[in-house]
Amino acid sequence: MKNAVQKFGKFLSAMVMPNIGAFIAWGFITALFIPAGWVPNEKLASIQPYMLTFLLPTLIAYTGGKMVGGARGGVMGAIAVMGCIAGVGGFDGQPMLMGAMVMGPFAGFVIKKFDQAMDGHMPAGFEMLINNFSVGILGMIVAIIGYFVIGPFMSAVLAVLTAGVNILVKANMLPLTAIFIEPAKVLFLNNAINHGIFTPIGIEQAAQTGKSIMYMLEANPGPGLGVLLAYWMFAKDKATKDSAPGAIIIHFFGGIHEIYFPYVLMNPVVIIAPIVGNICAITFFSLTKCGLVGPSSPGSIIAYLSMSPKPQMLLTIIGVALATVVSFVIAAPIVKMSGAKNLEDAQADMAAKKAEAKGTAVASGEKKNADEVKKIVFACDAGMGSSAMGATKFRNRIKALRPDVTVINTSVDNIPGDCDIAVVQAILVDRAKASAPQAQMVVINNFLADPALDALYDQVTTAKAPAAEAAPAVEEAVEEAPTNDKIMVEEGIKVGLKPVSKEEAITAAGKLLNELGYVDEEYIPAMIKREETASVYMGMGVAIPHGTADAKNKVKKTGIVLLQYPEGVDFGDEKAQLVIGIAGIGDEHLALLGKITEVIGDEKQLNKLKTTNSVEEVLAMFK
C-alpha cells in the first residue's frame, strides 16, 4: 500500500514539477499586480486569469498525456482538458488543475492504446494521414467526455474538498492536518500533497478572497529548519553535526525540503517536532487570517515571503519563526538523548524509499539462490562506461566472499546465455529480457550506489559457494591490465567549472574528447542520445557520459576526460560534481575505469576529487 501511494504521488508530482516555472510566473503576477499586491496594475493583473484558467491546466494535461502516450499523448491531453474547462464555464468555473491531472493521463492512455492496435496494420503511405486524424478525432471525443463528464465531476470533487476545508477552518481543526502532512513529506509525498491537493483548493479560495492558507500548510520551511538546528547544536555524531549547516542553507533558502528527511529517519521520534511546530504555525496563521496569494514552490523562505500579501509580511515571518522555535525545542532533547544511527545510514534508507517510490528497486524474473549464481552481468546500452564501472565496483565488493562468481559488463543486447543475473536500468529491461530471458533482472537507477545493489549483495552472499582457486580470466585481465597514460591526459581535465545543464555538461565532455582527437564530432550527439535513452548518472555525484552502441565507429582512439563541477550538475533528482566523458575501443579503457572506481570508492579521495583546484592532483590520483 505504501509503495502504491508513493508511486501515485510521484506520478501526480511528475505532471506538475516540469511546469513549476509557470506556477511561479502566475504567482508573481498575482502577488505584484492584483489590487492588494505590491505594485497594483489592473492591466497586468488581467493576465492572471488566463494563466490560471487555460495555461496551467493545459501544461499539466500535456505533461500527463506525454508521460503516458508520448508526444501524441501530450497533444491529446491538451485537447482533452479544453473540454473540461469549457464544461465548467471557462472563466466563470473552477480552475481545472485537478481535471487536468485526470484528463492528461486518460487522453494519453487512449492514444497509446490506439497506436498499439494500429502497430503493423497501418497502410503504407497513409501513416501521416492516420496519425493526424487519429489525434484529431480521438481528441475531439475525449474533449466531449471532458465537457459532459470529467469537468463537472472534478468541479464537484473540488467543491466537496473546499467545503471540507471550510468546515475544518470554522471548527478550528485545520492545524491537525499537520499530523499527516509532516510524516507524508518524509515518505516523499510532499509534492503530491502540495500540488495535487492543496494548490487546487488554494486556487479556489484565492479566487474568492485573494489569498489562501492552503498554500502555507506544506511549504512552510520552519518545521524542517527547527529539526536541522537541533542536529547542528546537539548531534553526537560529528559527520551529522558538520553536515547540518549546509543542509540548513539548502533547506531554508533553496527550498529543498528533502534535505532534512534523512535527519528524521535517523531517529523517527523526531517527527514529533515538525508536526507540533507546523500545528502551532497553522494555528497562528488561522487566528491571524493569513494566507499566500499563490503557491510557494519551491518551499524556500524567499518564495514563501514573495507570495505573502504586503500587509501581512510580518505575520508570515512570525509564523515561520514560531514553527522553527517549537520544532527546535522539541527536537533538541530528542537529538541530545538519542543514540541514533549515523547520517550515512539514514541517507541509504532514504535512497531505498526513493527507489521504492519510483518502482525501480525491484528484481524481475525468478530470484536465484546464492549457490545458483555464477555469473552476474552489468549491462548498459553500449557496454562501455557505466556498466563497466558498476561491474568493477560490485566485483570488488563481493570477491572476498564469492570469488567463484564472475562479474562482467557488456552491452544490453549482448548479454551472454550463461548469465544468471543481469543488472540494468529500468528503461533497458525489455531489451535485457530479450537478450537473456533465462536471467534474473535486477533493476537499478544508477550503477554505483543503488538500494537494489545492496539487496543483490545480500542475495549472493547469504551462502558461501566453494572458493575458486583463481579469479576468472576476464577479471584478471581487467584488474591487472596496465593503465595507458595517453587515455587520460592533463589537457582532458577541467576543474572549478560553473554549473550548467546536464546537456551542456555532456556536450562539453564530448567537445573535449573531440578536441583531443579521441572521437569524431558526430560522437557528441550520440552522448546526448545515450542520456536520453538511459541516465548516465552513476551515483555518488558521478556521471559517465558516453556514446550509444551505434556510435562506436566514431571513436578514433580510447580516451577519458574529466570535468569537475563543484556546485553540481542536475541529473534528475541528483547532482553530479564529476562528469567523466568516455570513448573506448575494445577493453583499453577498462583498467583506467577500474582505477576511477577505486578512487571514487574512497570517500576522502572522492571528496578531494570533487573540490580540488589542481589538475595535477587529479591526474596523480589515477596513475
For residues 147 and 547, give the distance between their C-alpha atoms in angstroms, rounded to a whole number: 47
Choice among 84, 280, 290, 380 that is catalytic:
380
Sign of the CA dihedral with 163 first, then 148, 115, and 71 last = negative
121 as an active site residue: the answer is: no
Contacts of 342 (CB under 8 A, 6+ apart): 237, 239, 240, 266
Choice among 195, 251, 257, 546 that is catalytic:
546
For residues 534 and 446, give the distance between their C-alpha atoms in angstroms, rounded to a whole number: 10
Three cell numbers, residue 104: 492528461
**What Cα–Cα distance (Å) separates residue 70 from each residue in 33, 80, 102, 205, 343?**
37, 15, 16, 34, 39
Amino acid identity of 470? A
- φ, ψ (nearest 5 deg) of residue 369: -70, 160
User: Is the CB of residue 334 less than 8 Å from the CB of residue 292?
Assistant: no
Amino acid identity of 97? L
- Tally of CA atoms within 13 A in the half-sphere of 622 that contains its CB: 29
DSSP 421-478: EEEEEGGGHHHHHHH-TTSEEEEES-SSS-HHHHHHHHHHHSSPPPPPSS--HHHHHH
Helix (H, G, I), strand (E, B) or coil at 516: coil
257 as an active site residue: the answer is: no
User: Is the CB of residue 77 less than 8 Å from the CB of residue 64?
Assistant: yes
For residues 546 and 571, give the distance between their C-alpha atoms in angstroms, rounded to a whole number: 15
For residues 377 and 420, give the distance between their C-alpha atoms in angstroms, rounded to a whole number: 8
- φ, ψ (nearest 5 deg) of residue 333: -65, -30
Q: Which residues are catalytic?
A: 380, 546
